[in-house]
Amino acid sequence: MNFDLTEEQQQIRTTLAEFAEREIKPHAARWDKEATFPRHIVAQLGELGFLGVAFPEKYGGGGADTLSQMLVVEGISRYDAGVGLACAAHMSLASGHIGLFASDDQRAHYLPGMLAARQLGAWCLTEPGSGSDAAAMSTKAVRAGDSYRIDGSKMFITNGGVAEVFVVMALTDGSAGRAGVSAFIVDRATPGLSNGRKIEKLGLHSSDTAEVIFDGVTVPVRNLIGAAGAGYQQTLKVLEGGRIGIAGFAIGIARGAMEDAAVYARERRQFGQAIADFQAIQWMFADMATRIEASWVLALRAAALKDRGQPFAREASMAKLFASETAMWTTTKAVQIHGGYGYVKEFAAERYMRDAKLSEIGEGTSEVQRMIIAKSLLRDGYMPA
């Protein structure tokens, strides 16, 4: 397995870092404090081609691979995880669902605008009463002639308050359980679609998170993605790929926190020397770097399997599980290295720590990832890579 980035991938990483240093890093603390979603930054990322990097060229994408898309999420999250999450949800979930399962006409209609970020996407699965148990959703879509009427609500939807295109999971057959879930494309301007209360979060303040309400939302049958009843299986596949993106999201947070802590440790002096000279501090950095590198290899393995068309669900869950817990551990140590300054908003350490927690929850909790991994091992056995 080749661990080296291609010239194209290295160019993506370099160009994105230059953009983020200039356009994101100087403003991240303010966006966090003011809970501001920087839509103009996402628009610029779209104009530069970053949000369509792994999609077919005929829709305006870059025709690159899964790793290239992960590099985009990782590179943004290194500076502002809220913006990174917004882009990950837009690319991996909303655009990704349409790219994988929509008809040619649906793709041609929606993907060009979404990949260029002229239209932002939101993926609507979680509800007030259903999260990890997606089959327990209560949002319904009832067919009447050539249309479906959607009623219900979705909760904790990334980009939910700012998106123009919604991919919505709803029950078309309430008696069929998981086999009764279908997926629809719903435009923002559709009557009956609205947002509920503002959701205040622990972290990721620059990411828009909203309740999305569907009150008699009527969409034509042509907005159904694939066949009726195929939505649950589509969702599983979308989440498998999305977890590679969340691994990149977590790696970016961990990397940003470690690099920020290293700057502080070299500058902060105690007992007449930089705290970076203390062995206790050095060991923290050694463990940080080792865990981040291991997370990277796991994510690289999952991305490679996906691009080869091989099963990758277990590897994606491993990458997401390990990277998210690495992010939480690393950011906690970064706060510790800062001491009292790590607990105040003057420094970025506490923001990284608050932002990291979502990676252990979103797109399947750590507990769900362990369930997926264990079931796969007990069913198929284990063969080391």
Percent of the chain residues past pLDDT 70, beyond the cut: 98
Cα separation of 325 and 291, whole Å?
9
Q: Would you say the C-alpha torsion 304, 307, 309, 312 has a positive or negative sign? A: positive
239 shares a domain with 221: no
Q: Are residues 172 and 271 in the same domain?
A: no
What are the tens digits of pLDDT across the range 305-338?
A: 999 999 999 999 999 999 999 999 999 999 999 9
One domain for residues 302 and 338 = yes
| 51: in domain | yes
Q: Tell me what pLDDT residue 130 has.
A: 81
Does any domain span residue 238?
yes
For residue 112, tell me if it sits in a domain. Answer: yes
Is the pLDDT reported for residue 384 higher than 80? no
Mean pLDDT of 123-138: 84
241 and 350 fall within a common domain: yes
Q: For residues 149 and 283, state if they share a domain.
A: no
Residues 174, 206: one domain? yes
pLDDT value at residue 171 = 96
- Mean pLDDT over residues 22-51, rounded? 97
Element spanning 245, H or E: helix 231-267
Residue 129 and residue 62 share a domain: no
Q: Is the same domain home to 179 and 237?
A: no
Is pLDDT above 70 for 132?
no
pTM: 0.95
Residues noted as catalytic: 363
Domain membership flag for residue 315? yes
Residue 376 lies in a domain: yes
List the single range of 66-70, 172-176, 350-354 with lowest mean pLDDT: 172-176
Q: Of 177, 208, 229, which residue is a domain's last?
A: 229
Q: Which of 78, 104, 120 is the last residue of a domain?
A: 120
CA nearest neighbour of 334 among 235, 269, 253: 253
Q: Are residues 179 and 245 in the same domain?
A: no
* Residues 138 and 260 reside in one and the same domain: no
Same domain, 366 and 240: yes
Element (DSSP H or E) covering residue 239: helix 231-267
In a domain, 385, yes or no: no
The total of structural domains in the chain comes to 3
Over residues 290-307, the pLDDT tens digits come to 999 999 999 999 999 999
pLDDT band at residue 1 under the 50/70/90 scheme:
low
Domain with 248 in it: 232-380
Assign residue 209 the CATH number of its domain: 2.40.110.10
Q: Which residues, 6 or more positions from 18, have their beta carbon under 8 angstroms from its beta carbon?
A: none
Q: What is the DSSP string of 40-75?
A: HHHHHHHHTTGGGTTS-GGGT-----HHHHHHHHHH
Domain identity same for 222 and 238: no
Between strands 165-171 and 121-124, the pairing is parallel
**Could you tell me the CATH number of the domain that includes residue 319?**
1.20.140.10
Report the CATH number at residue 65.
Answer: 1.10.540.10
Task: Collect all residues with Cβ–Cβ distance below 8 Å to 323 and sequence separation of at least 6.
Answer: 246, 247, 248, 250, 251, 254, 295, 298, 299, 359
Q: Which of 229, 251, 267 is the last residue of a domain?
A: 229
In a domain, 333, yes or no: yes
pLDDT at 131 over 80: no
Q: What is the pLDDT of residues 50-109, one digit of tens each?
A: 999 999 999 999 999 999 999 999 999 999 999 999 999 999 999 999 999 999 999 999
CA dist 291 and 187 (Å) reads 42
Model confidence at 232, pLDDT cuts 50, 70, 90, reads very high
Average pLDDT, the chain: 96
Structural domain contains residue 2: no
